[in-house]
Structure 1
Amino acid sequence: MDPYAVRIETSDGQKLGYVPGVHAQVVSTMLKNNISLTLSVKKVQPTIAPQWWLQVTLKGNLNMNQKNIFTENNLDDLIYRVA
Structure 2
Amino acid sequence: MTTIQCVSPVNGEVYAERPALSLDAAREVVARARKAQKDWARRPLEDRVQLVLKGVARLNEIADVVVPELAWQMGRPIKYGGEYRG
- Please report the TM-score for the alignment, with normalisation by the length of structure 2: 0.27
Structure with a larger share of its residues in strand:
1
Which structure has more RCO (C-alpha within 8 Å, separation ≥ 6)? 2
Structure with a larger share of its residues in helix:
2
Report the structure number with the largest CA radius of gyration. 2
- Please report the TM-score for the alignment, with normalisation by the length of structure 1: 0.27
